[in-house]
């Protein structure tokens, strides 16, 4: 829902990294995106393309998004299961007392620079 805003945040952060590391250009940016973060990958790519044209440092940067699968833990039976497939109710014991273990991440993993 706020893909353009987060693209600006990513670029702002990486511009700082570029200055600190005396980087002249970025050829690749790798992000880690959880399956149930609030960010839609295809929108992220669209926003990235639009914003990258406006910032020299990113004009040739390829965006790579690695997906982190969402897993939920059930307090009721101690099992973990795939969140996207089963949602908040545990498929093993049908308990609603469940917690997201992973899958809401949104990280900048690494960049390829020259």
Partner 1 sequence: MKEVRILEIKQSVFADNDRQAQLLRQELREKKLFLLNLMSSPGSGKTTTLMRTIEALRDTLKIGVMEADIDSDVDARTISQSGVRVIQLHTGGMCHLDAEMTRQGLEGLDPAELDLVILENVGNLVCPAEFDTGATKNAMILSVPEGHDKPLKYPLMFSVCDVVLVNKIDVLPYFDFDLEKCREYVHRRNPRAKIIPICAKTGEGMKAWTDWLLQEVRGEGYGEKT
Q: How far is the CB of 6 from partner 1 (least distance, A)?
A: 6
CB-based burial label for 48 (10 Å; 0-12, 13-18, 19+): buried
Of 56, 55, 30, whose CA–CA distance to 44 is shortest? Answer: 30
Half-sphere exposure of 94 (CA within 13 A, CB side): 0
* Interaction pattern, residues 76-105, with partner 1; x per rule: CB under 8 A: ------------x---------------xx
| 43 near partner 1, rule: CB under 8 A | no
Helix (H, G, I), strand (E, B) or coil at 18: helix
**Using rule CB under 8 A, residue 31 touches partner 1:** yes
Minimum CB distance to partner 1 smaller for 14 or for 74: 14
If binding is defined by CB under 8 A, does position 49 make contact with partner 1? no
Q: Which range, of 11-19, 49-57, 61-69, 77-85, touches partner 1 by CB under 8 A?
A: 11-19
Least distance CB 2 / partner 1 (angstroms): 4
Chosen residue from 56, 62, 66, 112 binding partner 1 by CB under 8 A: 112
Structural contact between residues 71 and 102, judged by C-beta atoms closer than 8 angstroms: yes
| Cβ atoms of 70 and 103 closer than 8 Å | yes
């Amino acid at each position: 829902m706020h893909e353009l805003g987060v693209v600006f945040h990513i670029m702002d952060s990486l511009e700082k990294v570029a200055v600190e590391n005396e980087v002249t250009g970025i050829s690749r940016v790798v992000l880690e995106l959880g399956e149930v973060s609030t960010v839609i990958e295809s929108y992220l790519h669209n926003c990235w393309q639009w914003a990258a044209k406006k910032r020299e440092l990113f004009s040739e940067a390829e965006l790579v998004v690695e997906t982190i699968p969402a897993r939920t833990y059930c307090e009721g039976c101690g099992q973990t299961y795939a969140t996207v497939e089963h949602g908040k109710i545990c498929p093993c014991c049908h308990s609603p007392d469940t917690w997201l273990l992973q899958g809401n991440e949104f990280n900048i993993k690494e960049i390829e620079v020259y």
